[in-house]
């Protein structure tokens, strides 16, 4: 039977155990940081550590993927290697972008957007037409020189993969070609706004510029003295040939 003495001992033992338990929990919270508990009924506990916004995390993945795709090619590149370079887990890549195909497509879209924005931001509204053309072409070649991995993914790697990337690459290429064609047309106008280069000639010059950019990455390794500035001057000289043709025979759209 329980007597007053045994009950007192039991209470003391219980209180001592409860005190030790509270102390252990307090030490754990201090070591790990006490979690933030949501209102009753939420059913979950959320850590203080905030997740990065989805867009920021996706950009980190693309930043890590571009040099891997450029170096290894689409088929050889592994999601594990890209995830490791991004400092994330492999499943997170699939959660955010669905697949390696989705990640590669995201790389194509972003780098095309960056290149188009580079071309547009290089032009000042008060630039003379010829200076605007020079600035735009120079920005194009400088982008390729400074972002060789991006260019390799956008044009060299993606273009060689066939479907499902052919459509994506074709659309990206058309956007860039349209921007360069507009640069050539606007950059060779006379002071009164009259065009001196046909759309066909401007499109040809745009393709020449893209071809020069394709070769630029290897060319710069073999000819370090060849800068984006000198390459811009060369393409500008070709554009001036169109101006001379106009002066000698007029605009020909054929």
Give the model's pLDDT for residue 243.
57
CA–CA separation, 93 and 102 (whole Å):
10
Reading the block at residue 212, the tokens are: 């020069």
Handedness of CA 229, 132, 148, 202 (dihedral sign): negative
CA–CA separation, 143 and 150 (whole Å):
9
- In a domain? residue 204: yes
Give the model's pLDDT for residue 16.
53
CA–CA separation, 184 and 133 (whole Å):
6
**What is the Cβ-side half-sphere exposure of residue 186, based on CA atoms within 13 angstroms?**
21
- In a domain? residue 11: no
Report the length, in residues, of the chain.
254
Give the model's pLDDT for residue 220.
66
Domain residue limits at 143: 108-247
Give the model's pLDDT for residue 249.
55
Reading the block at residue 126, the tokens are: 């008060």
CA–CA separation, 84 and 93 (whole Å):
11
SS (H, E, C) the chain: CCCHHHHHHHHHHHHHHHHHHHHHHHHHHHHHCCCEECCCCCCCEECCCCCCCHHHHHHHHHHHHHHHHHHHCCCCCCHHHHHHHHCCCHHHHHHHHCCHHHHHHHHHHHHHHHHHHHHHHCCCCCCCHHHHHHHHHHHHHHHHHHCHHHHHHHHHHHHCCCCCCHHHHHHHHHHHHHHHHHHHHHHCCCCCCCCCCCHHHHHHHHHHHHHHHHHHHHHHHHCCCCCHHHHHHHHHHHHHHHHHHHHHHCCCCC
- In a domain? residue 77: no
Reading the block at residue 76, the tokens are: 């050889």
Whether the Cβ atoms of residue 42 and residue 72 lie closer than 8 Å to each other: no
- In a domain? residue 43: no
- In a domain? residue 162: yes
- In a domain? residue 221: yes
Give the model's pLDDT for residue 54.
87
- Extract the residue ranges of the chain whose pLDDT is less than 50: 1-2, 7, 9-10, 14, 21, 23, 25-26, 28-29, 31-49, 254
- In a domain? residue 67: no
Q: How many domains does the chain have?
A: 1
- In a domain? residue 152: yes
Give the model's pLDDT for residue 45.
38
Which CATH number do you get for residue 229?
Answer: 1.10.357.10
Whether the Cβ atoms of residue 151 and residue 217 lie closer than 8 Å to each other: yes
């Amino acid at each position: 039977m329980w007597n007053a003495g045994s009950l007192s001992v039991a209470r003391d033992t219980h209180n001592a155990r409860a005190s030790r338990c509270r102390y252990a929990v307090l030490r754990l919270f201090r070591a790990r940081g006490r979690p933030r508990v949501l209102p009753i009924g939420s059913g979950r506990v959320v850590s203080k550590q905030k997740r990065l916004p989805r867009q920021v995390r996706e950009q980190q993945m693309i930043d890590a993927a571009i040099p891997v795709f450029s170096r290894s090619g689409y088929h050889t590149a592994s999601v594990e290697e890209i995830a490791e370079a991004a400092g994330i887990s492999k499943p997170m890549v699939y959660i955010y972008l669905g697949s390696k195909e989705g990640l590669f497509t995201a790389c194509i879209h972003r780098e095309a957007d960056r290149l188009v924005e580079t071309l547009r931001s290089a032009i000042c509204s008060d630039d003379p037409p010829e200076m605007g053309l020079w600035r735009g072409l120079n920005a194009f070649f400088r982008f390729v020189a400074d972002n060789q991995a991006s260019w390799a993914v956008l044009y060299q790697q993606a273009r060689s993969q066939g479907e499902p990337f052919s459509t994506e690459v074709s659309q990206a290429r058309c956007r860039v070609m349209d921007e360069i064609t507009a640069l050539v047309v606007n950059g060779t106008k006379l002071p009164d706004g009259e065009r001196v280069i046909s759309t066909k000639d401007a499109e040809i010059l745009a393709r020449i510029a893209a071809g020069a950019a394709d070769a630029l990455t290897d060319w710069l390794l073999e000819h370090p003295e060849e800068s984006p500035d000198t390459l811009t001057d060369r393409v500008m000289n070709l554009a001036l040939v169109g101006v001379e043709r106009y002066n000698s025979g007029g605009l020909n759209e054929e």
